[in-house]
Amino acid sequence: MMTDTTMSAPSKTKSKSSRPGTLALLLNNTLATSGLVVLVLICLIALAAPILPLADPDVTAPADRLLPVFAEGHLLGTDHLGRDILSRLIWGTRVSLAVGLSATIIAAFFGSLLGLVAGYAGGRTDTLIMRGIDMVMAFPYILLALAIVAVLGPGLLNALYAIALVNIPFFARNIRGITLGLSRREFVDAARLSGKSPVQILFLEILPNVLPVIVITMSTTVGWMILETAGLSFLGLGAQPPQADLGSMLGEGRKILFTAPHVSIIPGLMIFALVMSINLFGDGVRDILDPRLRAGSLTRPVSRTAVHRKADDIPAPSQKGGVLDVRQMRTEFEIGSSVYKAVGGVDLNLKEGECLGIVGESGSGKSVTAMSIMGLVPTPPGRIAGGAAYLDGEDLFAASDRRIRDLRGGSVAYVFQDPLSTLHPLFTVGDQLTEAITTHQPMSGSKAREKAIELLSLVRIPNAKERLSAYPHELSGGMRQRVCIAMALANDAKVLIADEPTTALDVTVQSQILTLMNGLRRERNAAILFITHDFGVVSALCDRVAVMYAGRIVETGTTEEVLANPRHPYTAKLIECVPVLGEPERRLDAIEGRPPVVNNLPEGCAFAARCPHAQAACRAGEIGLEMSSDTRGVRCLFPLNSGASA
Amino acid sequence: MAAYIAKRLLAAIPVLFGLTIIVFLIMAMIPGDPATAILGSYATPENVAKLNRDLGLDKTLFEQYVIWIGNLFHGDLGRSYTLNRPVLDEVMERFSATLILAGTSLVLCSIFGLLAGIVSAVRQYGWADKIITLLVLVGISTPSFWLGLLLILVFAVKLRLFPASGMYAIYGGGDLADLIHHLTLPALTLSVVATGVIARLTRTAMLEVLRQDYIRTARAKGLSERKVIYKHAFKSALVGVVPVIGIQAGFVIGGAVYIETVFQWPGIGSMLVTAISTRDLLLVQGGVLVVAAAYVFFNLLADVVQTILDPRLR
Amino acid sequence: MNQISQKPMDSEALLTIRDVERIFGGGRKLFGGQLPAVHAVQGLSLDVKKGETLGVVGESGCGKSTLARLVVGLDLPTSGSITFNGEDLAALARKDRNALARKVQYVFQDPVASLNPRKTIRTILEAPLKHLTDLKADRREARLAELLQAVNLAPEFLERYPHEFSGGQAQRIGIARALAAGPELIVLDEPVSALDVSVQAQVLNLLDKLKDDFGLTYIFISHDLSVVESVSDRVAVMYFGRMAELGPAKEIFRHPLHPYTDLLMRSAPAPGRHDLMSEDASTELPDPYNPPKGCAFAARCAHRTETCIAGKPSPDESKAGNNHIAACYHPLGKA
């Protein structure tokens, strides 16, 4: 075995070009950047207060009471005691910022500590801490702060403690949840087995993973804390005269709201600007640090895959006929600046009652092929970039949305991989089945229910009638997949597309489901497109098979032919490298290296780099799928077993 | 379901008990001598000792708690020394006013928040989404007490559309129309922040749900986009949003403290602020206890609604 | 795979498991009443001999992963004993976890999840050397190079982070970490099931080579019969928390005694095989909260009788030849 020196291509080649650094990402976000600029500006002015040429904020001048904005010598006017508002505003901002930040840091420190310990220790410690936290959270937030101030007495420092204290549970809960999740991760067990002590695991293994969450939580709460301390001061419970923060300025101004509104409006505006800039910046930070939000992964997929193909790039239907005829289909994903050619020109032909298996490893494009046909590839980032899919001669990529909706679940039905996540958890099996029926065949509720029971019996679910009111989580994996199959059969589909329908199931259940599908196929004469990674499963069900590698079909033929006499070196290796039951002595012939990444495909044959028979010619030019008969074809310049008849 | 609700109600009992302990302890921790605080610094030692006995302060903390909780069960929260009336009477009167204000706000923020969140998610990156996102940010960044003042200036002082303060007009009035007239500005002000929080969360929840496998299944079944979004996706999103609405109830009740002060709404919030500054601690204690109990109830309600929506929680 | 020589059966047991039971849940509620409990593993007894590969096979929920965690001390049995070289493993795990970790190591199912995303490979591989061995810094450096060499990874990978690796590479790092402190026994918990088939073979061949090079003993846990068959000397088949069958790999797969083993074998799809065993009913696992009184497989079994439903068979209810036992009252045609 040779030493592996290749890195995952996306990280090595792309990390610099398409994955910009954190700061660059932040600056890309206009709102976050403007928030940062305003925030920095406010902070700088507040920090510079002692060296700015400002009037003493506490010196009263009864003669200059309530001067309006832009008065001479007082840019923002004066308050009811004749103090310069501009000066008080800047000094007050200093106080508010300091208090808000300190409260955040205190709350984050103690809250995170409690959360970390509770989440990691679990058991009694967790119960004890979290009960206490729940108790504190049972009080409305501000009320608790008020009660604490009532005990400690009004004052800025007391308000700070109160706000920090009531925010501790918020941090503790958040951090505990994350810690709990991380503590169950395998790398924590691995660290334990590496001899690390619990304290080392908590602070050296878990904490680095929790830190971004703490930062996110801090950045989203600091604005809130400034608002709350300002609120307490506004009520007269925070800063006490002559000291002033923005809240107490606002509170004092309120009494003369009608006569001199600027005295209260200006500090309020300042609080707003400060908090708004923090929130804008905080949101930017969150978007960058939260992996779920990063790279737009929380983009809403639209109802149908976008089709971007040139008018002259629409191949005519093949002459083979059949229900489903896919021609030169290409599907791409545009992520960042790179284009992943997940499906690079696939031809498929499916006749009535026929079962075609598509075999490939992860990343070969087999699932994307299946999803592309009815436009179920999420857009963004996916799009159909070329080719056509004809259903009984009708170009599916040119059909209207309305037409596609009618066909989905009607003529073409899907069965997906994980039956737990593909059924809606909040609706009963009956609801979901009848919905599938009535969407395509208008009928009364009771009739639909009858039909649903019929379907459940068809897929051999015992006690079909009672099962209608069951929720998916109440069923076993095998039963759920039966429900999915029943749903796919609801409207007498001509084509059934099954995407690894048995991969998530146990072997014995898998064989039950395969047997069921085989029986139904013969009864109903539906064509099946069966996606799998397992040649064994193909053998059990499929008439013909197409092997995919790096987005293209490399070999196709009847199942017997391909298995007995593989012609593409990849097919041969793929069959060879899997242990077979009953042949324990067989040497496993591993395929060295890894498949290429489809955003950076090599010229020529995509498998050349791993192929023991590769020659110079394999690494240049386009290599076509040579058909040696109606059904048999291989995309290889030097196919194996060329002497044997195809 | 009934069994579940009963179970949840039972589970709320220890929480309520815990609340009484915390409230009691907070008040017991107050530095200084309550008797002196009540009687003033010129009180004779005999008077102080007598009041201490009357208040039960010569007993142990535990005994005091038992007596206090016993009284609580009889509806006796003590007497407010500033108002010279039973604390419970004052608190309940004030609480009903707060309930009207906070309840209205909660309804408003739930409706607007959910609607804005859904529109924002469905029109992701469109104009509606951008405007809503910005409005939400403005909403959660605005100090509500300041917003209240601005609204008073504009709608009460300048435009004279709504009254600046109070719950009912002093002369005449007293009917529902009058109440609504007085309620509009404070209720709107109070709901702004919560609306923002709910809208934000609904948007994220919707976006997350729309990426789930079962949404793909719904589409593969041939459902219309309307059904996919408003039936399949919204129900799932709601499961995540409902507990947050429960938590927002706490923020709305808490926020009422500011709004009641600004609009001089005769609710429990403004009562608490006054009571704290006059150090009428029995009144503070009673007020905090009643509001906290109401909040526990709100959260219970949110839990039950969530469980009705999500069968997996049963 | 093929060079594994059959060890003599009388060789000393490295690991002995006796009547081990692990219950999850249970305990008392706040207001009385028993919380529901699940027997993840029950009545389990087996030996692992020095130098052999014991395959453990079964479907989800059969308790095989619980067994793995018990053996490495990540979890402790509710009752029963596990001894390693004559030493009580549970006591050792409580007293000195690191002493146990020096002898028994673990390879995880999900290779990427088993590496801390914020640590470099160097930090990850150094941890067991620091905490479990008393090597000095320069010796540790040499040992790191040896380890990488052993699992066929280039030395420059040391400074990289886990997300930069593919599943197969990550699993090799996981294996290197398990090897670091020089253990005698390695528990492999579905080490290839998260990998693509073409990569599976690479890892399986590597494991085979390492076993020979370092004189290791393996417990190889998998749901995949063909993988287990190709690596194991002996095989334990588990069903619903109990052992259904135990015996030499060759015998088990040639002449299974337990009808469940037979069902598993006939359910496994294989290239060129069309006659999938079609289990007629749509029966599946019993409810773990309400386990049957008798044999857990009885409901799915064509050979069941009243005896099977009335009571559980003992693990060695039926025996055949070379230490081949099955928990079945009506074993399939004895060889």
Nearest-CB residue to A540 (from C200, C202, C276): C276
Partners of A7 on chain C (C-beta within 8 Å) are 157, 160, 164-165
Check CB contact of B278 with chain A, cutoff 8 Å: no
CA distance B180 to C36: 53
| Position B135 pLDDT exceeds 70 | yes
Among C72, C251, C90, which Cα is nearest to C177's?
Answer: C72
Inspect the interface and report whether the beta carbons of A408 and B222 lie closer than 8 Å: yes
More confident: C158 or B280: C158
Given phi > 0 = left and psi -120 to 50 = alpha, else beta, which region is B158? alpha
Inspect the interface and report whether the beta carbons of B207 and A299 lie closer than 8 Å: yes
Structure-derived torsion over alpha carbons of residues A54, A56, A58, A63, reported in degrees to the nearest 10: -90
How far, CA to CA in Å, does A164 sit from each of A101, B255, B278, C111? 10, 17, 24, 41
| Position C4 pLDDT exceeds 50 | no
User: Distance (Å) from the C-alpha of residue C318 to the closest C-alpha of chain A?
Assistant: 23
ipTM over cut 0.85 = yes
Among A117, A300, A308, which Cα is nearest to B228's?
Answer: A300
Q: Rounded mean pLDDT of A319-343?
A: 87
Phi (first) and psi of residue A327, to 5 degrees? -125, 120
Proportion of chain B above pLDDT 70, given as a percent:
95
User: Distance (Å) from the C-alpha of residue C45 to the closest C-alpha of chain A?
Assistant: 24
pLDDT band at A289 (very low <50, low <70, confident <90, very high): confident
pLDDT, one tens digit per residue, over A578-634 is 888 878 777 777 888 778 888 888 888 999 988 888 888 888 888 888 888 888 999
Residue C31 three-state SS: coil
CA distance A366 to A370: 7
Interface test with A, best of B27, B146, B297 (most A CBs within 10 A): B146
| Position A295 pLDDT exceeds 70 | no
Chains contacting C (3+ CB pairs below 8 angstroms): A
pLDDT band at A161 (very low <50, low <70, confident <90, very high): very high
Among A563, A523, A524, A568, which Cα is nearest to A543's?
Answer: A563
Structure-derived torsion over alpha carbons of residues C7, C12, C13, C18, reported in degrees to the nearest 10: 130
Phi (first) and psi of residue A172, to 5 degrees? -60, -45
| Position B206 pLDDT exceeds 60 | yes
In A459-586, alpha helices (H): 464-467, 477-488, 507-524, 535-541, 559-564, 569-576
Residue A557 three-state SS: strand
Check residue C209 and give its pLDDT: 92
Inspect the interface and report whether the beta carbons of A140 and B208 lie closer than 8 Å: no
Check CB contact of B130 with chain A, cutoff 8 Å: no
How far, CA to CA in Å, does A489 sit from each of A213, A453, A494, B172, C10? 45, 13, 9, 70, 58
CATH 3.40.50.300 fits C2-232, yes or no: yes
| Position C301 pLDDT exceeds 90 | no
pLDDT, one tens digit per residue, over C11-48 is 578 999 999 999 887 665 555 566 678 888 999 999 99
Q: If residue C37 lies in a helix (H) or strand (E), which one and from where to where?
A: strand C37-49
Kindly list the domain boundaries of chain C, sorted by start residue.
Answer: 2-232, 258-335
Partners of A408 on chain B (C-beta within 8 Å) are 219-222
User: Distance (Å) from the C-alpha of residue A182 to the closest C-alpha of chain C?
Assistant: 10
Q: B255 near B314, Cβ under 8 Å?
A: no
pLDDT band at B58 (very low <50, low <70, confident <90, very high): confident
Residue A355 three-state SS: strand
Interface test with B, best of A142, A148, A263, A292 (most B CBs within 10 A): A142
Nearest-CB residue to B124 (from A271, A300, A487): A300
Q: Could you give all domains of chain A from N- to C-terminal order, each with its CATH number?
A: 22-51+68-296 (1.10.3720.10), 324-544 (3.40.50.300), 545-646 (no CATH)
Phi (first) and psi of residue C238, to 5 degrees? -115, 145
How far, CA to CA in Å, does B122 sit from each of A404, B140, B207? 20, 22, 8
Burial (0-12, 13-18, 19+ Cβ within 10 Å), A361:
buried
Sign of CA dihedral A457, A459, A464, A468: negative
Which residues, other chains included, contact A429 with Cβ-Cβ below 8 Å and sequence gap of 6+? Answer: A423, A456, A467, A468, A469, A470, A471, A472, A475, A483
Nearest-CB residue to A511 (from C223, C267, C274): C267
How far, CA to CA in Å, does A26 sit from each of A20, A412, B50? 10, 44, 67
Check residue C25 and give its pLDDT: 77
Q: C62 near C244, Cβ under 8 Å?
A: no
pLDDT, one tens digit per residue, over C189-217 is 999 988 888 888 889 999 999 999 999 99
How far, CA to CA in Å, does B114 sit from each of A243, B118, B186, B210, C118? 42, 6, 21, 16, 37
Partners of A275 on chain B (C-beta within 8 Å) are 141-143
In B142-280, alpha helices (H): 144-151, 176-210, 213-220, 225-227, 234-263, 268-277
CA distance A477 to C282: 12
pLDDT band at A516 (very low <50, low <70, confident <90, very high): confident
User: Distance (Å) from the C-alpha of residue A542 to the closest C-alpha of chain C?
Assistant: 9
Interface test with A, best of C75, C116, C208 (most A CBs within 10 A): C116
Proportion of chain A above pLDDT 90, given as a percent:
39
Give the long-range contacts of residues B177-185, CB within 8 A, separation 24 or more. Answer: B179/B100, B183/B100, B183/B101, B183/B104, B185/B148, B185/B151, B185/B152, B185/B155, B185/B156, B185/B263
Check residue C2 and give its pLDDT: 40
pLDDT, one tens digit per residue, over C258-297 is 999 998 888 888 887 776 656 555 566 777 788 888 898 9
Inspect the interface and report whether the beta carbons of A539 and C204 lie closer than 8 Å: no
Partners of B26 on chain A (C-beta within 8 Å) are 147-148, 150-151
Among C301, C290, C313, C327, which Cα is nearest to C36's?
Answer: C290
Inspect the interface and report whether the beta carbons of A140 and B204 lie closer than 8 Å: no
pLDDT band at C1 (very low <50, low <70, confident <90, very high): very low
Inspect the interface and report whether the beta carbons of A230 and B277 lie closer than 8 Å: no
- DSSP-derived secondary structure letter, A551: T
Inspect the interface and report whether the beta carbons of A361 and C196 lie closer than 8 Å: yes
Partners of B221 on chain A (C-beta within 8 Å) are 408-409, 435-436, 439, 487
CA distance A403 to A395: 11
CA distance C207 to C175: 8
Inspect the interface and report whether the beta carbons of A588 and C201 lie closer than 8 Å: yes
| Position B36 pLDDT exceeds 80 | no
In A139-184, alpha helices (H): 141-152, 156-183
